[in-house]
Structure 1
Amino acid sequence: MVIALGFEGSANKLGIGIIKDGQVLANPRSTYISPPGQGFLPRDTDKHHQNKIHELLGKCLEESQCKPEDIDVLCYTKGPGMGAPLQSVAIVVRTLSQLWNKPIVAVNHCIAHIEMGKLITGAKNPTILYVSGGNTQIIAYSNGRYRIFGETIDIAVGNCLDRFARVLKLSNDPSPGYNIEQMAKHGKKLAPLPYVVKGMDVSFSGLLSFIEERTDNWLKKGEYTPEDLCFSIQETIFAMLVETTERAMSNTTSKEVLIVGGVGCNERLQKMMSGMAQERGATLYATDERYCIDNGAMIAQAGTLLFQNGHLTPVSEATITQRFRTDEVPVDWIE
């Protein structure tokens, strides 16, 4: 039996979770929300995490009814992510390790999403679409690693949606992507946007520039409503992701698709991917906002698997890596 305490702080969400042998005992989260029309800056996000982490840790221990002496291992996000908030969380974990005399496991953020998705859905060997504010990758397991079959060659899908939300001055509460999703449900007219798939990779920067340059003019002339444009950007981007995921499935002969990451909560993306999966005789697996959005329990789950396979991180090496590739991590818990 392993009780793992996980700390996630790679972007604007601070999460602390406790996992006990695959059971989530507590998973509180606090989100830094920037003003409408603005993104979240590293220094402001870092300040939020510093102000909230002590309170959130107390809440996590209280909800789980665990004491520090019950914890077997401390797990934290090493990367990828924003440097300042990652660093603040890592400092707290190093401090707790010495205060509580507990071992540390450094966790890759992307692999944590995958392992949490597998735990919650029961997926065994899926083709994975990992979509979030900072990452867009199509992944499958092969020969001891999670291999990247395709990815964005510029900006991530979540970043693209967030930046378009700023153009429309949408609220960042609870998230720009969620507000785009709600508006898209009322869109009726599809605007012609660039569709950029290059082999197994996708590109969103040109599409974003195209719609940014035309939005004001389209709205002034009444050619499209804000709802139409939200509908259009979603449909175009998600079609690109479904196409490349299907191509990866044909290469892996997989019969499972797992969507993870914050954008994975989008119901329209899930519906489009489900249609593709059904046509291939495959099954779609996805989670809700409790687990697809960054959270501490996912770090604890991946950390448990690493801990059980002897991957410990000395306090002196419990640092951060802003660019930490998914395929850099040996995955020796899968046979």
Structure 2
Amino acid sequence: MALLRDSRNSRLTSPKKPFLALGLEGSANKLGAGVMKHNEDGSTTVLANVRHTYITPPGEGFLPRDTAQHHREWAIKVIKDAVSQAGISMHDLDCICYTKGPGMGAPLQSVALVARTLAIMFNKPLVAVNHCVGHIEMGREITGAQNPVVLYVSGGNTQVIAYSRQCYRIFGETLDIAVGNCLDRFARVINLSNAPSPGYNIEQEAKNGKRLVPLPYTTKGMDVSLSGILTSVEAYTADERFRPTGTPYSPEDDVITPADLCYSLQETVFAMLVEITERAMAHIGSTEVLIVGGVGCNERLQEMMGIMAQERGGRVFATDERFCIDNGIMIAHAGLLSYRTGYNTPLEKSTCTQRFRTDEVRVTWRL
């Protein structure tokens, strides 16, 4: 699949030769390996994008230790599959890119160790990549968005971002838990499956909701707070009107169903996110919104954001699950952008960190 990149707003010129990178992602429960090619004509080609997800039983989350063990067990197979699909050898690579953070400590360390080992074995430079910047650059690449306001929504992050002076600046963010974490935790409360993901199953359940129950709407300037809304929606499961899935009742009964709660949670939380995104658009005068991160796959969020953007004469950009859910190709692409401006990570500094903010990265490849 060839993906063309508009060279506007970029410091990079078309390379004199193709560049190849292997990207390794493992900041949470997805282990990904991707091979990206930057071509001489300025276009990019996704050669491989392989992913394996650690899935726990319904009602359970994923612990760092167990997730790290999953990554260690699957790393060789996932990387071999990616290299095979790309039709290359490890010797063909220009660099090996890995997620430095943010994320869960033990899984990050497992993948960083794999990246360091490969770099030593094949004598390749390492490039440490910020997970959030990886999402943004992959979103820009796939959709063609030029200078959008970015809504980054995932299991561990909720941020409204805009670019200025070689930095992705955070205009607003969650003050406590991320939106994906909020949805995932409620999915566990009502015992939804974790396959393919709890957030996806919340989305499907919400489509059958008919009753909008009142929940706290907490925006504080450009920030949001989500822990209170989670506590409130959980409280409804103890209400005498609550009827778990599969419980018989008459249509005329005054009941609250899991579908009603999923619907109410989505509508309220997404309205909060649309509000702070619109404020950022007004502040910088942008007409583009780019939604990235795992929750960015949610069609209802895309729909609500699209209504707001259309009213402002703008448009929304989003990707499908191949690129919005954590993946190795976004790390390979962002790593190549950085590598082509002369950056690489010495082995002695190839660490990882659970807290690596988006606005700590110098975006050397953009004007």
TM-score (norm 1): 0.99
Provide, for residues 32-67 of structure 1, a one-character-per-residue CA deviation record: whole Å limited to 9, x for no partner: 001100110001100100000000011001100010
Structure 2: distance between partners of 1:214 and 1:310 = 54
Q: How does 1:28-107 map to 2 (within 5 A)?
A: 28-107=50-129
1:219 is aligned to 242
| Correspondence 1:120 to 2:137 | no
Task: Select 2:45's aligned residue among 13, 23, 47.
Answer: 23
Q: Show the counterpart of 1:209.
A: 231
The DSSP-based 3-state class of the residue aligned with 2:242 is helix
Number of aligned residue pairs: give it: 335
Q: Does 2:298 match 1:281?
A: no
For 1:141 and 1:203, the matched residues in 2 are separated by: 24
The alpha-carbon deviation at position 143 of structure 1 amounts to 1.3
For 1:229 and 1:211, the matched residues in 2 are separated by: 7
Pick aligned residue for 1:160 from 178, 182, 185: 182
Q: Distance in 1 between matches of 2:36 and 2:315?
A: 27
Q: After TM superposition, give the deviation of residue 210 of structure 1 in Å.
A: 1.1
Per-residue Cα deviation, 1:79-128 (whole angstroms, up to 9, x for no partner): 00000000000001111111000000000000000000000000010000
Mind listing any 5+ residue stretches in structure 1 that lack a counterpart? none
Once the 2 structures are TM-superposed, how far is the Cα of residue 310 of structure 1 from its aligned partner?
1.1
In structure 1, the residue corresponding to 2:211 is in which secondary structure? coil
Cα distance in 1, alignment partners of residues 242 and 149 from structure 2: 39
How many angstroms apart in 2 are the aligned matches of 1:210 and 1:230?
A: 12
* 2:19 alignment partner in structure 1: 2
CA distance in 1, matches of 2:77, 2:229: 41
Residue of 97, 117, 142 corresponding to 2:164: 142
> Tell me, which stretches of 5 or more residues in structure 2 are unaligned?
1-17, 39-43, 244-252
Aligned identity (percent) is: 64
Partner in structure 1 of residue 272 of structure 2: 240
User: Could you say which residue in structure 2 is the equivalent of 1:258?
Assistant: 290
The letter for the 2-side match of 1:140 is A
Distance, in Å, in 2 between the alignment partners of 1:180 and 1:284 is: 22
Using the TM superposition, name which of 149-158 and 220-229 deviates more.
Answer: 220-229
Letter in 2 for 1:252: I
**SS of the residue 2:334 aligns to:** helix
Secondary structure in structure 1 of the residue aligned to 2:187: helix
CA distances 1:209-256 after superposition (whole Å, capped 9, x unpaired): 111122232415953111111100000000000000000000110111
Higher helix content, 1 or 2 = 1
For residue 270 of structure 1, the aligned residue among 298, 302, 305 is: 302
2:353 to 314, 321, 329: 321
Aligned to 2:250: none
Aligned to 2:326: 294
TM-score (norm 2): 0.90
Cα distance in 1 for partners of 2:217, 2:237 equals 17
Aligned to 1:12: 29
Distance in 1, Cα, partners of 2:283 & 2:361: 22
Provide the aligned C-alpha RMSD in A: 0.8
Encode CA deviations 1:124-168: one digit per residue, 9 max, x unaligned.
Answer: 100000000000000000111000000000000000000000110
Aligned to 1:306: 338
Task: Report the Cα distance in structure 1 between the residues aligned to 2:345 and 2:215, rounded to whole angstroms.
Answer: 46
Using the alignment, how far apart are the partners of 1:160 and 1:228 within structure 2?
A: 16
Aligned AA (1:144) = Q
Q: Determine the C-alpha separation between the residues in 1 that align with 2:285 and 2:147.
A: 10
Counterpart Cα distance in 2 of 1:170 and 1:211: 15
2:214 corresponding residue in structure 1 = 192
Instruction: Tell me, in whole angstroms, the C-alpha distance in 2 between the residues paired with 1:46 and 1:69.
Output: 27
Larger Rg: 2
The whole-number CA distance in structure 1 between the counterparts of 2:110 and 2:74 is: 11
AA paired with 1:219? Answer: F
SS of aligned partner of 1:48: helix
After TM superposition, the structure 1 stretch with the greater mean CA deviation from structure 2, 87-96 or 217-226, is: 217-226
**What amino acid does structure 2 have at the position aligned with 1:52?**
W
Which secondary structure does the structure 2 equivalent of 1:284 belong to? Answer: strand
